[in-house]
Amino acid sequence: MFKKFKAATVQTAPVFLDVEKTIAKAIIFIKEASNNGAQLIAFPEVFIAGYPYWNWIMTPVQGSQWYEKLYKAAVKMEDEVMQPLFQAAKDYNIHIVIGLNERGDSFGEIYNTNIIIDNQGKLIGKHRKLVPTWAEKLTWTSGDGSSLKVYDTEVGPLGTLACGENTNTLARFTLLAQGELVHIANYISLPVAPPDYNMAEAIKIRAAAHSFEGKLFTIVSCSTISEEIKEALREDVPNVDEVLTRKNSAFSGFIGPNGAVIGEPLIDEEGIIYADIDLSKCIQPKQMHDILGHYNRFDIFDLRVNTAPTRKITFINDHDEFNKK
């Protein structure tokens, strides 16, 4: 119950729209984290293998060709190209939470998905982003409640949400109610936010809110925008440097059960950082505010969550039903 472990979080850019090279890059970080004693490593949102920035800086018609490129770079868990990632978790005895573009069953369908791999190299869970944020609706299909789960791991009860859905109070409470003590919140750098919006600060506020309310540890991993990404988009967006360059666009770090940042976070810079996690630190803060226990009124409040997977079609044979009568 009172687990102690070292965690790592990564702030970097993928190899844009190249799954194989991005996984190879991830494995370099995984090896480094393991060699430094980490038992858990977090990677950014849709790290495999890129974010649809064109939704924000091009018209939908211009961005359509990029949507096709992204779909071709989307993956399923059983794809051969994914296997080195699972093997790395086993080889380096480390848990991995990483974002990816997941191919759906419908041709052309993409989900924004976080996967959880245990230290035996097994896929133990995945979470599909419930609601794509703003311009992201041009790319991703919405997930459903079946992936709002907390997973029992050797480092503790672990859950994850992607980017803006860490603002969704009911989604966060659903994870807390399942006993979550380690939360992975992953993001992308978003320089195209409104001028008065400090993305790094907003990420920190969301993480602190979840940790303070739930009395748990939040690990934040955010991507960066590489020169390679900007160069790829330059032909369609000549002023890409202007629109995709801005300070305070990325925050990665660790938040404790008291809502305070642990150590020094990464702001905009690429790298990997570590923190020692002691789950027993989640106990004392609950004496004041336990929103899952004494500091709530479940006789007044009733949250119901539909965890059934979405069914796209139901077949009914009316003739057979008639014959049974």
Catalytic (active-site) positions: 45, 129, 163
Compute CA 262 distance to the chain's CA centroid, rounded to the nearest angstrom: 20
For CA atoms 293, 153, 254, 134, the dihedral sign is negative
How many Cβ atoms are within 10 Å of 78's Cβ, its own excluded? 8
Kindly report the three-state secondary structure assignment for every residue of 181-223: CEEEEEECCCCCCCCCCCHHHHHHHHHHHHHHHHCCEEEEEEC
Kindly state the DSSP code that residue 122 receives in the 8-state scheme: -
Q: Tell me which residue of 194, 203, 193, 150 sits closest to 172, measured CA to CA.
A: 150
Q: At 72, is the secondary structure helix, strand, or coil?
A: helix
Q: Are 117 and 160 in contact (CB under 8 A)?
A: no
- Residue 103 phi/psi, 5-degree rounding, is -70, 130
Question: DSSP states of 157-177 as a string?
Answer: EEEEEEGGGGG-HHHHHHHHT
Burial environment of residue 105 by CB neighbours within 10 A (0 to 12, 13 to 18, 19 or more): exposed
Q: Tell me which residue of 127, 18, 119 sits closest to 74, measured CA to CA.
A: 18
How do strand 217-222 and strand 261-267 relate by DSSP bridges? Answer: unpaired
- Partners of 37 in the beta sheet? none
73 preceded by a cis bond (ω within 30 of 0):
no
